[in-house]
Amino acid sequence: MYAIVNFKGFQYKVEENKVLKVSYIEGLEEGSELELSDVIFISDNGNVKVGNPVVDNAKVIAEVIGSGRDKKVIVFKKKRRKGYSKKQGHRQYFTQIKIKEILQ
């Protein structure tokens, strides 16, 4: 059984006991529960439910495992023959969640 969930502008394919890295959620501690209610699609052994835009009475329960910072992304800009180049790095914050159950 799996579901597709819309969360903070991104769509994630979730299954029970799966660990995901999502955009940073401020104010949540480790061990707290999170309810994702924008379920777009549910598949249960061939039985498919598609929402319009979301599936009615469906939600996903998740537990916050922790948070941190992702790998560094290098941003490099250059204009040829002008003597201009600029190098910057960026590390995005993330929250790790574990999917506990999918309710229909």
- Per-residue confidence band for 103, with pLDDT thresholds at 50, 70 and 90: very high
Per-residue model confidence (pLDDT) at position 7: 93
pTM higher than 0.85: no
Structure tokens at 76: 């490099």
Per-residue model confidence (pLDDT) at position 46: 86
Checking if the pLDDT of 104 tops 90, the result is no
Give the pLDDT confidence of 17-62 residue by residue, as tens digits.
Answer: 999 999 999 988 999 999 999 999 999 988 999 999 999 999 999 9
Determine the 3-state secondary structure of 28 from DSSP.
Answer: coil
Give the pLDDT confidence of 55-101 residue by residue, as tens digits.
Answer: 999 999 999 999 999 999 999 999 999 999 999 999 999 999 999 99
DSSP secondary structure letters along 41-93:
EEEETTEEEE-SSS-TT-EEEEEEEEEEE---EEEEEEETTTTEEEEEEE--E
